[in-house]
Amino acid sequence: MTDQQRSLGKTTIAPDVLTTIVRLTVLGIPGVSKMAPVSGSVDRWLKSGASEGVIISVENNIVYADIYVVLRRDVNVRDVGRLIQSKVTRAISEMVGMEVGKINVHIEDIDYSPEEVVR
């Protein structure tokens, strides 16, 4: 048996790891103020990361995510939404090597609180 034919074993990734990757990626995107609570039915409590603004599901080794965010004021909502989709897809693909199906972004609110003055 050659080295290429021999299996090195199996790697599994917990859904909470995917949730953490998504949350950290989203919070690092300019224009995102914070994660929003997941709205919806009781089913949300049965899915991973629902209380953290992210719902992750994996079907046939393909990752699907619903992301709930609050954006900062004075941003282009469509552009930030697309940037979230792009960066989350890239992060999951590069960090865990999984294929991404859909990344649904739910803009739950706009943060109009006064911005802090940096001195």
pLDDT tens, 69-119? Answer: 999 999 999 999 999 999 999 999 999 999 999 999 999 999 998 865 555
CATH of the domain spanning 15-107, picked from 3.40.50.12780, 3.40.50.300, 3.20.20.70, 3.30.70.1350:
3.30.70.1350
| pTM of the complete model | 0.81
- Tens-place pLDDT, residues 22-63: 999 999 999 999 999 987 654 445 555 455 899 999 999 999
In the predicted structure, residue 1 carries a pLDDT above the cut 70: no
The residue among 37, 30, 44, 16 whose CA lies nearest residue 81 is 30
In three-state secondary structure terms, 1 is: coil
Q: Mean per-residue pLDDT for 8-34?
A: 93
CA triple 80-82-64, angle to 5 deg: 120
- Kindly list the domain boundaries of the chain, sorted by start residue: 15-107
Query: What letter would DSSP give residue 29?
Result: S
Q: Say what the pLDDT of residue 102 is.
A: 97
